[in-house]
Structure 1
Amino acid sequence: MSTRLMSTRLMSTSSNDTGGGGRRSAEVVRRGKEEEGGEGKKVKVEKLDVKPPKGTRDFPPSLSRQQTWLFSHFHAVSKSYGFSHYDSPILESTSLYTRKAGEEVTEQLYSFLDKGGRPVSLRPEMTPSLARMVMGLKPTLPIKWYSIPQCWRYERSTRGRRREHYQWNVDIWGVEGEAAEAEVLAGMVDLMRSVGLTSDDVGIKINSRAVLREVTEKMGIGGDKFASVCVLVDKLEKVPIEAIEGDLKDLGIGREVVEELLTVLGSKTIDDLAEHVGEESEAVRDLRSLLRLLDFHGVSDWMVFDASVVRGLSYYTGVVFEAFDRTGNLRAIAGGGRYDGLVETYGGERTPAVGFGFGDAVIVELLKDKGLLPDFERGTVDYCVAGVEGPEDGEAVRAAGILRGKGMSVDLVLEKRKMKWVFKHADRIGARKVVITGGEEGERGECIVKDMDTGEQVAVKLGEL
């Protein structure tokens, strides 16, 4: 019996060994199927799991078109604000991310030893790589850079949250003051607008880490403890205070201190905040200045003051912000803030910096909910070219070459097919026009060009395509 026939029979037999709903049993999947090996020996071939690793995605043409569309908006907005594109390796030294124990990003690393025994990690975020590059390259400041990196975090997969995602990163280095925060926030809003979202759909929460620092310093909490407190307070949106009490005790911080912090963080307006920390507070002055600049940018209706936003990363030092779905159905769309102290954690000099990360997964889910995501199932091709005689028709090849030479996208049918199939194929791939060569028109040196939208068709000299 031939290998092919044996394989077919075995596959057919295996398909009857199913569980509920006609699914192949786990035992059959593990066993795989038998193939005939050398000298008549049978070897087991494990059935391939065709799904990508949990929390990751394949990008077949429709999703790749969707990604290209979204990334084109990232590039266009970045360019309109004068940002320059950069990139870095997806693999970095693990030490780049282990600044502060307790950060979620530290606990979610994809880490391993390379063949040289060096601890490396898939990048979970882009900002540390940017800091490394700036420290190494020493570019003339200020700089406005952006990137769209793929990032990896080992976390629970939910809607809009995956273990790998792409992220639009926008950063300004070397500028003190709120003008830089206002610039990146305006860019974030322009991206939302460019894909059809409004301030009724998305809001951006704004606060300042400096507020928390001022309050904790009055309570005698400073130094490394401050960053740890910020990481813990950021978790309170997801867990009750009891869940972090043990960590707080380890830091020597009592529950009453946290409750006082929560009172301040519960402020609904900047005026309420000023009542707790005083109008002379530098953080209050910065927030008022930022909101005034955002009004000049024409994006005030997107902004929401929220004193509870502190962000989970320890390196933030000033203004922080998060874009959110106003319906509350999705996780944060984007987030960022000022991180003047990041380079210091790597042994460099304090350097002003502000920026944000904007994930690709959540925005796509939001656009789906709002009915704003275009249909990417069909491709877009300028011409579909087919010869009556199939691939042996040199005129079809010549026609495709002429059109490609003029900058057109062309799908050349590579088999001999009936014209009914050709037109169905052209419709499926989204071809604007179909060119048919050969037949009677070919004898006259012509070809038929059909417009797929109007149905109009004309005879055209091949050299005039």
Structure 2
Amino acid sequence: MKPSLAKGTRDFTATEIVNRRLIINTLQKNFELFGFQPLETPSFENLSTLTGKYGEEGDRLIFKILNSGDYASKTNEEDWAAKNSQKLISQISEKALRYDLTVPFARYVAMNHGQMVFPFKRYQIQPVWRADRPQKGRFREFYQCDADVVGSESLWQEVDLVQLYLKSFSDLKIPVSLHLNNRKILSGLAEFAGISEQLIDFTVALDKLDKIGKDGVVKELLDKNIAQESIDKLDFLFNQSENALDNLRTLKEKFAGNEIGTKGVEELEFVLTKCLDLGISSDSLKFDITLARGLDYYTGAIFEVKANHVDMGSIGGGGRYDNLTEVFGVKNIPGIGISFGLDRIYLVMEELKLFPENVDHSVQYLFANYGELESLEAVKVIAKLRESGISAELYPESSKLKKQFTYAEKKGIPNLVFFGEEEISAGKITVKNLQSGEQDTISVEDFLKTI
């Protein structure tokens, strides 16, 4: 059978891995610069830990793991015969691959909060899995790079995370715009339109505005039995000013007597004004009233990062989730976090040609193989190079020099070293730079000193 990859997964070459590490190292440096500590959680969780945290659409995308052994024999015969998948899931699957890093982190906090010092700041860089339809920039297995703070309601955390986002993308040389909203504003809008009981339907549809347009959003709202009268009340959402603070002032007027909506406006106003006071350009920050992020657990600020001039969708996102640990029986632990989409960031940097060239030349010196005795002497020199942190290797077979040249060129190794019988007896070594064509013969002692 011809081998193939599972849909939505990829193999990574040496160049791709080195480029991905460049992104990860940049993010890790900034996470630690901002006071976050590393954490890792298991690749799979109890299914009950994950379900009910991502909304109806998210729950469908969780990869379930079949129970070990003869899982079919333990199912209800009627459910099995009826092929009732919803009832069968709980009978044949108790575990699932993690869908994101936030819910496992909340589970960790709930289990360990008694030993933690709050506010607790952690970052996490690990793969997650979603049974989504693969497309450009969307995979079934991909990495998330998260930074979260729990145990503080201070809006300065939002301001700090805005700075973390913008510094990280500046270091990666990616021009971005950071879109902000507040879940309380969305709740206020639902109350304003008289559709509070359909808040989730409203926000899920609104979040798709950039994909399906105004007509598509209106159609989806009507399909969810939201009255045309309510939709008309919300028509102003589709005609926003370029000035974020002007839009917030408009909302304040509409939210007169609307407590939750007013609270959301005040919170977002604080974050925006403080960021502007810090010298952050208004071009980098956009109040996006239609931004919903589509996840049930957000309760306050919502973030989404988009790369300028690249058609890629969001390359980062997050928000405040003050109630998340309550589902694990632990109350009053507010939290906020952001995520960087490593795979989409990679595609953006590739499209913008931001990766340095020839970054995968890990081997600097290839020693030609002249036979067993010469190879032993070459390996002694190679060992000294490696002690100095320089990558070098011996060509494994005593082949024709042309073949060894070809190997070095194809591997992108910049230097070919000749250390044959003549050089060994003279205590010298010959190094040919395959990029410039220059060749030098010097003493082994001088070669190691120079290196």
* TM bucket, shorter chain: 0.7 to 0.9
TM-score under structure 2 length normalisation: 0.83
- Could you tell me which residue of structure 1 aligns to residue 441 of structure 2? 458
Whether the 8 Å CA contact 1:174–1:353 is kept in 2: the answer is yes
Counterpart Cα distance in 2 of 1:91 and 1:391: 52
- Could you tell me which residue of structure 2 aligns to residue 241 of structure 1? 217
Whether the 8 Å CA contact 1:390–1:413 is kept in 2: the answer is no
1:312-331 matches, within 5 Å, as 312-327=294-309, 329-331=311-313
Counterpart Cα distance in 1 of 2:335 and 2:52: 17
Whether the 8 Å CA contact 1:395–1:438 is kept in 2: the answer is no
Q: 1:288 aligns with which of 230, 255, 269?
A: 269
Whether 2:375 is the aligned partner of 1:393: answer: yes
Structure 2: which 5+ residue stretches go unaligned? 70-91, 257-261
1:173-192 matches, within 5 Å, as 173-192=150-169
1:139-218 matches, within 5 Å, as 139-198=116-175, 202-218=176-192
Quote the offset at 1:105 in angstroms.
Answer: 1.8
1:59-458 matches, within 5 Å, as 59-99=12-52, 102-115=55-68, 118-138=93-113, 139-198=116-175, 202-218=176-192, 221-222=195-196, 225-239=198-212, 240-241=216-217, 243-245=219-221, 248-249=224-225, 253-264=226-237, 266-268=239-241, 269-278=244-253, 281-300=262-281, 301-327=283-309, 329-375=311-357, 378-389=360-371, 393-452=375-434, 455-458=438-441
Letter in 2 for 1:329: D
Whether the 8 Å CA contact 2:174–2:307 is kept in 1: the answer is no
Whether the 8 Å CA contact 1:391–1:416 is kept in 2: the answer is no
Quote the offset at 1:308 in angstroms.
Answer: 0.8
1:9-24 matches, within 5 Å, as none
CA 1:126–1:259 in 2, change beyond 3 Å: closer, same or farther? farther
Map Cα deviations across residues 307-335 of structure 1 (whole Å, 9 max, x no partner): 11111101111111211133362211111
CA 1:79–1:324 in 2, change beyond 3 Å: closer, same or farther? same
Counterpart Cα distance in 2 of 1:150 and 1:344: 25
Letter in 2 for 1:113: L
Map Cα deviations across residues 131-161 of structure 1 (whole Å, 9 max, x no partner): 0111112121112211111111111221111
CA 1:294–1:365 in 2, change beyond 3 Å: closer, same or farther? same
Q: Which moved more, 1:397-406 or 1:94-103?
A: 94-103
Structure 1: which 5+ residue stretches go unaligned? 1-46
Counterpart Cα distance in 1 of 2:360 and 2:192: 61
Counterpart Cα distance in 2 of 1:248 and 1:100: 21
Letter in 2 for 1:231: V
Counterpart Cα distance in 1 of 2:37 and 2:316: 20
1:356 aligned counterpart, secondary structure: strand
Counterpart Cα distance in 1 of 2:54 and 2:26: 36
Quote the offset at 1:120 in angstroms.
Answer: 1.4
Q: Which moved more, 1:423-432 or 1:405-414?
A: 423-432
Counterpart Cα distance in 1 of 2:313 and 2:106: 27
Quote the offset at 1:254 in angstroms.
Answer: 2.8
2:336 aligned counterpart, secondary structure: strand
2:364 aligned counterpart, secondary structure: strand
Counterpart Cα distance in 2 of 1:126 and 1:159: 22
Counterpart Cα distance in 2 of 1:439 and 1:68: 41
Quote the offset at 1:377 in angstroms.
Answer: 7.5
CA 1:313–1:171 in 2, change beyond 3 Å: closer, same or farther? same
Quote the offset at 1:297 in angstroms.
Answer: 4.4
- Could you tell me which residue of structure 1 aligns to residue 259 of structure 2? none
TM-score under structure 1 length normalisation: 0.80
Quote the offset at 1:360 in angstroms.
Answer: 1.9
CA 1:65–1:328 in 2, change beyond 3 Å: closer, same or farther? closer
Counterpart Cα distance in 2 of 1:390 and 1:63: 36
2:207 aligned counterpart, secondary structure: helix
Quote the offset at 1:266 in angstroms.
Answer: 4.7
Please identify runs of 4+ aligned residues in structure 1 that moved more than 6 A.
Answer: none
Map Cα deviations across residues 393-432 of structure 1 (whole Å, 9 max, x no partner): 2101211112112222122211113334334433433434
2:224 aligned counterpart, secondary structure: helix
Whether the 8 Å CA contact 2:150–2:336 is kept in 1: the answer is yes
How large is the RMSD of aligned CA atoms in angstroms? 2.7
Map Cα deviations across residues 151-193 of structure 1 (whole Å, 9 max, x no partner): 1111122111111111111112222232111211211112211
Task: Using the aligned pairs only, state the percent identity.
Answer: 29
Letter in 2 for 1:263: F
Letter in 2 for 1:438: G
- Could you tell me which residue of structure 1 aligns to residue 79 of structure 2? none
Whether the 8 Å CA contact 1:380–1:429 is kept in 2: the answer is no
Whether the 8 Å CA contact 2:34–2:164 is kept in 1: the answer is yes
CA 1:61–1:163 in 2, change beyond 3 Å: closer, same or farther? same
1:355 aligned counterpart, secondary structure: strand
Whether the 8 Å CA contact 1:378–1:429 is kept in 2: the answer is no
Counterpart Cα distance in 2 of 1:272 and 1:176: 25
Quote the offset at 1:215 in angstroms.
Answer: 3.0
Q: Which moved more, 1:155-164 or 1:107-116?
A: 107-116
Whether the 8 Å CA contact 1:387–1:395 is kept in 2: the answer is no
Whether the 8 Å CA contact 2:429–2:447 is kept in 1: the answer is no
Q: Which one scores higher on RCO, CA 8 angstroms, separation ≥ 6? A: 2
CA 1:236–1:102 in 2, change beyond 3 Å: closer, same or farther? farther
- Could you tell me which residue of structure 1 aligns to residue 9 of structure 2? 56
Whether the 8 Å CA contact 1:92–1:120 is kept in 2: the answer is yes
Q: Which moved more, 1:227-236 or 1:67-76?
A: 227-236
